[in-house]
Amino acid sequence: MSASICRFMSSKDSGLGIKAVNFVLETELKKLKQPFFRPIYAMHIVTRGSGFFKCEGECTEIKKGSLFIAFPGKFFELCGSDDLEYVYISFTGDSAEAILTQSGVEKGKYVYGDFGHLINIWLESLRRMEAHNAETVTLGVLFQTLSYIRTSDGGEGTKPESVVDSIVEYVNCHYDNADLCLRYVAGIFNYTGKYISDIFKKRTGTGFCEYVNNLRIKKAASLMEDGARADVSGISAQCGFSDPLYFSKVFKTKTGMSPTEYMKRNKK
């Protein structure tokens, strides 16, 4: 079992009408005093185990990937397996209620469908937070999650278009990671590589590997055009290629020139 993590935001107003308060990974539920009561909102995603969410006389099953929301002034309880863990963001603000309503959150409905594809995004975001980016990272994760509320189908699984949108967004931000490949992304989003490959190709019209290589080559060309002071090996590494020879091969296929030729043509 991993250790709990808690990150607090600064008191500065975001200017968006919604203010993140803290971002927490809770791994020691049994040590907490219940029932819980908060004067602010809190959005949770179960990252491990299973259990039940109890509020206003209703008891709803939760499991890995379940999203549940605690509303201000409402008592609630959590019970479940010994390995039950969850991550949550608490927030407040004059526009919080309106934003939730616009996103499809219903009053009186506390538990939503399968958000398992966002678990690693939440955890990765929490762990990379620092003082200078805490508010941006936290609100970014919160708004991204809210964007899937309306497409949540009540627990039978996230719709394919929602999954691929999240995958595309992730790839667009992390293509320069040399470890990024179909298997790597499948592990992050908790789907099989074949499933991701199929829905990715259907939505984008491009195979996963080709899509990633297109982003990497576009970045490499941009670096060269801007007069990057690096050799082929250095540029390939900056763009996510671990093998300079493979990078050169892909680059020539995409541009019709070798990296060396391209750099000479764009030398300033």
Closest CA to 264 of 234, 218, 231, 219: 231
CB 26 within 8 A of CB 86: yes
Decide if pLDDT at 88 tops 50: yes
Reply yes or no on whether the pLDDT at 160 is more than 60: no
Domain ranges of the chain: 5-158, 159-268
Q: Which CATH superfamily does the domain covering 5-158 fall into?
A: Regulatory protein AraC (2.60.120.280)
CA distance 221 to 266: 10
Q: Do domains 5-158 and 159-268 have the same CATH topology?
A: no
Q: At what angle do helices 208-225 and 244-255 cross, to 10 degrees?
A: 90
Would the pTM count as exceeding 0.75? Answer: no
Quick one: CA dihedral 214, 215, 220, 222, positive or negative? Answer: positive
Give Cβ neighbours of residue 245 (< 8 Å, ≥ 6 apart). Answer: none
CATH number of 159-268: 1.10.10.60
Q: What is the pLDDT of residues 178-233, one digit of tens each?
A: 999 988 888 777 677 888 888 888 888 999 999 999 999 999 999 988 877 778 99
pLDDT band at 72 (very low <50, low <70, confident <90, very high): very high
pLDDT band of 21, cuts 50, 70, 90: very high
Q: Token pair of 254, please?
A: 């995409």
Contact 84, 78 (CB under 8 A): yes
In 3D, which of 250, 180, 178, 257 has the Cα closest to residue 225?
257
Please report which confidence band the pLDDT of residue 154 belongs to, taking 50, 70 and 90 as the band edges.
very low
For residue range 59-71, what is the model confidence (pLDDT) as tens digits? 898 999 999 999 9
